[in-house]
Amino acid sequence: MTDMHPKAAHPKEFLESKWKHAFTTFFDLDRNGLIEWKDFKDLIEVIGEVRGRRSDVFMTARLCLPDIWQKMTEAIGKEEEDIITLSDWIQLCESSRKLAREPAWQKAYVEYMFKLLDESEQYMRLVSFSGDHLVDQAEYVQVLGYFGVNRKDSSHCFDQFAFNHQGQLIHAIDKKKFHVLWKQFFHSEDPASPGNWLLGKKYKTQE
Burial class of residue 77, CB neighbours in 10 A (0-12, 13-18, 19+): exposed
Query: Which H/E stretch holds residue 134?
Result: strand 134-136
Residue pLDDT, tens place only, 128-166: 433 348 999 999 999 999 999 999 999 999 999 999 999
**Average pLDDT value for the chain:** 88
Per-residue pLDDT band for 123 (boundaries 50, 70, 90) equals very low
pLDDT of residue 207: 34
Q: How far apart are CA 153 and CA 157, in angstroms?
A: 6
pTM for this entry:
0.86
Per-residue pLDDT band for 194 (boundaries 50, 70, 90) equals very high
CA torsion 62-64-70-71 (nearest 10°) is: -170
Q: How far apart are CA 70 and CA 105, in angstroms?
A: 8
Are 79 and 73 in contact by the 8 Å Cβ rule? The answer is: yes
Instruction: Compute the average pLDDT of residues 11-25.
Output: 95
Query: Which H/E stretch holds residue 48?
Result: helix 37-51
pLDDT of residue 119: 73
- List the domains of the chain with CATH numbers: 10-197 (1.10.238.10)
Q: Using the predicted structure, report yes or no on whether residue 13 has a pLDDT greater than 50.
A: yes
